[in-house]
Amino acid sequence: MFLTNNYNVTKCKEKQATPKAAFVFLHLVNEKTFYVVERRVAKLRVFEFIGGTILEAKEISQAVISRLPRYFRYLGELKDDGVERISSQELSTLMKVTASQIRQDFNNFGGFGQQGYGYNVEYLYSEISKILGLDKTHHLIIIGAGNLGQALANYMNFERRGFLFEGIFDQNPALYGKKIRDIEVQPMENLECFVKENSIDIAVLTIPKTGAVNVAEKLVHYGIKAIWNFAHVDLNVPDDIQVENVHLSDSLMKLSYNLNSNLK
Ligand code: NAI
């Protein structure tokens, strides 16, 4: 153990292995046919089994994957409102997407509805949650304990979705030991051990772009598998590392565009 401006820096214990792929049993279409989803880093593949043999294996497009969180969000709200079932037409009106788009998206996974009944909200919600990997917990750290990092750390709702906030790091000694939701800001020197010892899989980057590329490379080296990147810079990481870039200003510009189009 050594000290960084009076804050303890610990030595690492051994590294933990992280699985490369996860298989999720989805649902039985009938007594012989069932679906299995394979999640491998960014990719989703669905296997259709009939009578014990694989009938079809297909990769799910990124467009479909990117629509799943929205379905999940709406279904969660319906569930909270006590809605038990919904037709694709009703879901279509609610979400402002066509009913055929909804059916096509769900058909990738064998379809979740029944003719004349529609979708069971609770069931569909739980199936999509499995596909998205939200039935599992993820361990998340934040790099950069400034305004944005602290705001995200204080947002409890991520935990409801299985994203556990485990640690927060910064290079500014003035912040070491500051508690955010009972978790102390730690020096960057502790990062490697912390990631390895706590099976951290996701890092949130809320630092300026100058240091972000370098920090991201270190994170990957320590074993991080996914980065939620708020720094305004493209990261240089291997293909098997998931990066989701967030630019809040893109959304604001879209709002501005729509506002101005409406004024014309
Ligand atoms: P801030 O200045 O309050 O916090 C940045 C923190 O990062 C500071 O505590 C600083 O000590 C720390 N830091 C800087 N370099 C570091 C490094 N190499 N390693 C570890 N810690 C380091 O800034 P704020 O407002 O929290 O914003 C953070 C970053 O996020 C900014 O670069 C900003 O441009 C970006 N941002 C991005 C948004 C988006 O939508 N993508 C929205 C808002 C901010």
Could you tell me the domains of the chain? 21-131 (1.10.10.10), 137-250 (3.40.50.720)
For the stretch 218-240, pLDDT in tens is 999 999 999 999 999 999 999 99
Cα 114 to averaged position of ligand 1 atoms, centre (Å): 48
The response to whether residue 119 sits with its C-beta less than 6 Å from ligand 1 reads: no
Report the nearest-CA residue for atom 5 of ligand 1: 146
Between these two residues, 12 and 74, which has the higher pLDDT value?
Answer: 74
In angstroms, rounded to a whole number, what is the distance separating the alpha carbons of residues 244 and 230?
9
Please give the single-letter amino acid code of residue 232.
Answer: H
What dihedral do alpha carbons 69, 73, 247, 39 form, nearest 10°? -20
Beta carbons within 8 Å of 4's beta carbon, 6+ residues apart: 173, 176, 187, 189
Length of the chain: 264
The response to whether residue 73 sits with its C-beta less than 6 Å from ligand 1 reads: no
The response to whether residue 211 sits with its C-beta less than 6 Å from ligand 1 reads: yes
Cα 144 to averaged position of ligand 1 atoms, centre (Å): 6
Percent of the chain with pLDDT over 90: 54
Q: What is the pTM of this model?
A: 0.76
Q: Are 46 and 58 in contact (CB under 8 A)?
A: yes
What is the number of the ligand 1 atom nearest to the C-alpha of 148?
Answer: 26
For the stretch 151-172, pLDDT in tens is 999 987 788 788 999 999 999 9
What mean pLDDT is predicted for residues 192-209?
Answer: 95
For the stretch 99-151, pLDDT in tens is 999 999 988 887 777 777 889 999 999 989 888 888 788 999 999 999 999 99
What mean pLDDT is predicted for residues 91-105?
Answer: 92
What is the number of the ligand 1 atom nearest to the C-alpha of 150?
Answer: 26
Mean pLDDT of the chain: 85
Distance of alpha carbon 52 from the chain centroid: 32
Report the nearest-CA residue for atom 19 of ligand 1: 171
